[in-house]
Structure 1
Amino acid sequence: MEHISDVEIIAPNFKRRLSGVTSTIIQLVPVQRRLGQKVATLGPGLPETLPQIGFLSLLSLWSPPKARTQRIWHARRNLEMLPAIILRDLLRMKLKIVFTSASQRRHTGWSKFLIGRMDAVIATSSKTAAYLEVPSTTILHGIDAERFFPADDKPAAKTMLGLPADKNIAGCFGRIRHQKGTDLFVDAMIALLPDRPDWIAIVAGRATGAHVAFEAALKEKVRAAGLAERILFVGEHTNIPCWYRALDLFIAPQRWEGFGLTPLESMATGVPVVATDVGAFAELLATDDSSPGTIPGTSMGSSVGQLIEADAPEAMMAAAAGLMDDPAMARRCAENGLARATARFTIDGEARSIGAVYERLLNGAF
């Protein structure tokens, strides 16, 4: 446990189950610490390796940390904003509250009430910022290049995972559910693979609760199409960067997304991307030389991949087929995506930008 007097930033995590927010905290906090930001986590569901404080430490928040007059409470959910407001406004503790929003829809009245009482707000994309009714700073998520990097030997990367080294592999990673568009990926592969014997496909992730039947129906559809040996459901894995390194094409078929790291993770591992125009995907794939219409049916051709409309099966099949059938274009997209990810979207850059918000807030610049 960290001593509260040494902690300047509190990163609460009040949801026990793993989520995108939890994953962000797990990846970001060690980088923030390495950069000198005195942050500690609070709450369940986090690795013991992260710096933490206990709930009893909150009784000490009337006293500021060393060399500061106040602390930062960095909330990422509604249920983390409300306690901070109580601590700051009712108990008069020395806190400034930062909220990071990834939502891309109109906020409820309750959310607006909470957000309106923040000292600073961070949006994870320009689309997210457009839904906020308060001033915000846009900071896109970054990628950890020490975890996500290209394979030196692609066939060996495939063999290590028990995948055929002599096949090209298209992948779709994440929770298996309708929102994530897993069915669109499966349908595209059922249509494309019979004419492309040198390709297989993998779905990595798991279905939870009400989505188990959805996954079962997809597996049955694959079996009925006679492709059970070529469209593989490999489950959820902790070594997901290794699975990216085995891919030759990544497809992000989401119908809706708050931010969505999977295209960025793919780019960082040198894999070309087809992604729907949801979340921050357009900002991740957009480049100065993006030009429309390079593949029929797509909404935008980019030098790092293909951006398509959401819930558009024909566009997805056209974009995937274009990259499957043109290795030279796929290679260019992979190279350009890697360069863009490492130049523009590092997790160190994200942490530094967040740190700048903290400093401006503590120095009274907001």
Structure 2
Amino acid sequence: MRSSRHRPGPGFTVLHLVQPVDGGVGRVVADLVRAQVAAGMRVVVACPGHGPLAADVAALGAETEVWHATRDPGVGLPAEIRRVAELAGRIRPDVVHAHSAKAGFAGRLAVRGRIPTVFQPHAWSFEAVSGTTAALARGWERLAARWTARVVCVSEAERDRGARAGVRARWSVVHNGVDADRFRPADTADGLAPTAAARAALPPLAQLPPDTPLVVCVGRLCRQKGQDILLRAWPLVLRQLPRARLVLVGDGPDAERLRAGAPPTVLFAGSVEDTAPWYRAADLVVQPSRWEGMAVAPLEAMASGRAVLLSDVDGASESLPPGQRAQCLTAPDDHDAMATAITALLRDRPLRESFGREGHQHVLSTYDVRQTVRAIADVYRDVAAVPRSERREPIPQ
């Protein structure tokens, strides 16, 4: 009979190791923490102290530990690994859940199979680099699989990419989920149409004429998210729709460079506490990423009743309703195709509204966050119940 300690609930401890703490990764972790605390689990989140995640999960009832870790490997890596080992020894979790490449790197080197470790790439590290660096990243992932009880991918495409790279792992595909109570279609207010009401509630948009075509992009301002591709496409859109406006919601290392080259028709909203109103204010939400596992922002936009346009990276096709893939996917890094698709969707309001309704129902049926947290609980149950002698390459204590 399995010990109750191995059932995710009261008496079960999970240590989430997180870096980065912003963007979709932070939202995924916060959603998991909310559900796990509600289930009576002891939840500990170790992450850098900057950014909102530590405060957010503490407010949800999780314990927090400061883990001073940069996004990339560097001279501080040995100290980061030692800190994880110290936390694991003191907290004695039933499962370590490492999120993204850096946490997966430090966490698996620190634990090395002594505690069941779940690794969730949130997009593979070798996609972000090329040449020798990419080869080294693939080699590391192949090696680290022996210390990984389960690799959790957020899309079938992400799993397939890992398998093609030679990663031999025990896999689970658990799609990202959306809180449909938070991300929902706009309501009317003071006699205004829903989109106009949403814009009126956001001061930077309140003065726009109600019929202004508005594109919104939500994401960290960095190479992965591809806002530079969207900005190259934007002048081509303006040739056809000179009254259109673009809003980039988010902050990041490329903010200054992107601002320097942007025309006045582009608004930089910066980092915001709540992205939901910005989705509701949009006519179209665009995600021009260069790589992903499965981006969270398009799911949130669809839950909000908005049409989306995505670059065809891992998870993008899976996230869309099947009937929208022809019009709502463009090749990565192809700004001409993106401009053509944006223009076509902005000109066709009935199609956008139809896509928005379909996308909303699609997310409710397929990407509800409650399905995600149940699937993760099943993963924990499976890996924590494996006897120590059957785990991969445990290190004697």
TMscore range, shorter length: 0.7 to 0.9
Q: Which of 258, 270, 274 is the aligned partner of 1:239?
A: 274
Q: In the alignment, what sits opposite 1:358?
A: 380
The CA deviation at 1:179 is 3.1
For residues 212 and 57 of structure 1, do their structure 2 counterparts lie closer, same or farther at Cα, with a shift above 3 Å needed?
closer
Moved more, 309-318 or 8-17: 8-17
Aligned to 1:207: 252
Deviation at 1:10, TM superposition (A): 2.0
Q: Distance in 2 between matches of 1:36 and 1:328?
A: 46
Which structure carries more helix by proportion? 2
Name the structure 2 match of 1:49. 59
Contact 2:154 2:174 in 1 (8 A): yes
Hey, what does 2:335 align to over in structure 1?
313
Contact 2:285–2:309 (CA<8 Å) still a contact in 1?
yes
Equivalent in 16, 27, 39 of residue 12 of structure 1: 16
TM-score normalised according to structure 2 size: 0.74
- Give the distance between the partners of 1:86 and 1:191, measured in 2 at CA: 50
Aligned partners of 2:34 and 2:95: how far apart in 1?
A: 17
**Counterpart in the other structure of 2:77:** none
1:118 aligns with 2:115: no
Residue 222 of structure 2, aligned match among 162, 177, 185: 177
- C-alpha distance after superposition, 1:31-85 (max 9, x if no partner): 23334554332344311314116587744556xxxxxxx8111122455455566
Could you say if the C-alpha distance between residues 133 and 187 of structure 1 is closer, same or farther in structure 2, counting changes exceeding 3 Å? same
* Correspondences of 1:23-42 after superposition (within 5 Å): 23-42=27-46
Distance 2:95 2:370 in 1: 19
- Tell me, yes or no, if structure 1 residue 161 matches structure 2 residue 197: no
Q: Which residue of 2 aligns with 1:187?
A: 232
1:93-131 deviation line (CA, Å, top 9, x unaligned): xx3222112334474323322222112221111122121
Q: CA deviation at 1:344?
A: 0.4
Change (3 A) 1:19 1:13: farther
Distance 1:275 1:49 in 2: 33
Q: 1:268-295, CA deviations, whole angstroms, 9 ceiling, x for partnerless residues?
A: 11110110011311110142x45xxxxx
- Structure 2 vs 1, CA of residues 61 and 247 (structure 1 numbering), >3 Å: closer, same or farther? closer
Q: Matched residues in 2 for 1:60 and 1:347: separation?
A: 31
Q: Is the 8 A contact 2:14 2:41 kept in 1?
A: no
Aligned pair partner of 1:145 in 180, 192, 207:
180
Q: Secondary structure at the match of 1:13?
A: strand
Query: Do the aligned partners of 1:99 and 1:115 also contact (CA within 8 Å) in 2?
Result: no
Q: Whose relative contact order is higher, 1 or 2, with alpha carbons under 8 Å and at least 6 apart?
A: 2
The residue that corresponds to 1:293 in the other structure is none
Alpha-carbon shift at residue 197 of structure 1 (Å): 4.9
Q: Write the distance in 2 (CA, Å) between the matches of 1:80 and 1:195.
A: 45
For the 8 Å contact 1:142–1:350, the answer to whether it is kept is yes
Contact 2:14 2:44 in 1 (8 A): yes
Cα deviations by residue, 1:169-227 (Å, 9 ceiling, x for unpaired): 1111212233322122223232223432553221112232xx244223322xx1xxxxx
Within 5 A, what are the aligned runs for 1:167-316?
A: 167-197=212-242, 199-208=244-253, 211-219=254-262, 222=263, 228=264, 230-287=265-322, 289=323, 300-301=325-326, 306-316=328-338
Partner of 1:329: 351
Distance in 2 (CA, whole Å) between partners of 1:197 and 1:60 is 60
Deviations 1:307-362 (A, max 9, x none): 11111122111211111111111111010001101110011110000111112223
What do you get for the CA RMSD once the two structures are aligned? Answer: 2.8
- Amino acid in the other structure paired with 1:52: E
Q: TM-score, normalised by structure 1?
A: 0.80
**Runs of 5+ unmatched residues, structure 1:** 63-69, 223-227, 291-299
Secondary structure of residue in 2 paired with 1:149: coil
Matched, 1:75 2:98: yes
- What code does the residue aligned with 1:328 have? P
Equivalent-residue separation in structure 1 for 2:88 and 2:224 (angstroms): 38
Matched letter for residue 154 of structure 1: T
Opposite residue 272 of structure 1, the aligned amino acid is A
Aligned equivalents of 2:222, 2:101: Cα separation in 1: 24
Matched-pair contact (CA < 8 Å) for 1:207–1:215: no
Flag the 1:116–1:204 CA change in 2: closer, same or farther, 3 A.
same
CA contact (8 A) 1:156 1:165 kept: no
Question: CA contact under 8 A between 2:288 and 2:332: conserved in structure 1?
Answer: yes
| Secondary structure of 1:156's aligned partner | helix
- Structure 1 Cα separation of the partners of residues 239 and 111 of structure 2: 60
- Taking a change above 3 Å as real, the CA distance of residues 41 and 7 of structure 1, as seen in their structure-2 partners, is farther
Q: Residue deviations 1:212-266, cap 9 Å, x none? A: 44223322xx1xxxxx1x3222222112111111111011111222431111111
Change (3 A) 1:316 1:114: same
Identical pairs, percent: 25
Q: Does 1:347 align with 2:369?
A: yes
Unaligned runs of 5+ in 2: 1-8, 66-82, 128-133, 188-193, 391-397
Tell me the equivalent position of 2:131: none
Q: Is the 8 A contact 1:158 1:165 kept in 2?
A: no
Structure 1 CA distance for aligned equivalents of residues 109 and 222 of structure 2:
35
Distance 1:254 1:232 in 2: 19
Change (3 A) 1:159 1:126: same
Deviates more, 1:27-36 or 1:104-113: 104-113
